[in-house]
Homo-oligomer: A and B are copies of this chain.
Amino acid sequence: MDGTIGIIGGTGPAGRGVAIRLAKAGYDVSIGSRDAQRAGEVVGAMAVPSEGAIRGVANEDAAMADVVIIATPWDSAVATAKALRELLAGKVVISMVNALVREGRELVPLYPSRGSMAGQLATVLPTSRLVGAFHHLPAAQMEDLASGLDADVVVFGDDAAAREAVAGLIDEMPGLRSVVAGTMSLAGAVEAFTAVCVSINIRHKAHSYVKLEGLGN
């Protein structure tokens, strides 16, 4: 894929892991935060692969990239995206947001009123080309390029060309394989399964991830 990539709300472990593997694939990545200085500090502490570059910026600057990933906490995703909607108009926007809450030893899914966080985001980004991806990945393994990660990334969205572009981007990232599942009708199911993955890892003290065996590629 051509172009730059911005990650809104990207200073957390999940955003950082995606940034590192995008940089390893040769991309210029902007990690955005509400606080640009904090984003700079976070990036300064990261081991950035020499194939690409990672900068810490304000969310507004991250939203100026060619492709934009939304990686905020679930409860600020809609407000953050809404404020940036003009910058995101017409672009491929990737939601990796999950609405999860901790209950004892488990993370359990919340069910957003429109069925999924991607569905919530679609309402405030009506002209963006929204795709869901990067939901089930173990953050620490994503950040560590030597972790041996070999994970599948389930991709969904209603814009087939955007979905395929995101799948191609994922396939450039080391340790990841894209698996296109289908439309936004599957968004809630993909997002909620993240709660199952995290709960399994808490319970089994593991860093497991989803692999779909038998896809034949």
Write the residues of chain A forming the contact surface with B, with a CB cutoff of 8 angstroms.
103, 105-106, 108-109, 111, 138, 141, 150-151, 154, 179-183, 185-186, 188-190, 192-193, 195-197, 199-200, 203-204, 206-216
Contact = CB atoms under 8 A, between A and B. Distances in A.
Number of copies: 2
Interface residues of chain A: helix, strand, loop or mixed (majority): mixed
- The 6 A-B pairs at the shortest CB distance, nearest first, are namely A189-B192, A208-B214, A108-B185, A208-B212, A193-B193, A106-B182
B214 A182 contact: no
Nearest to A194: B189
A95 to B, nearest CB: 16
A190 B196 CA distance: 7
B180 A188 contact: no
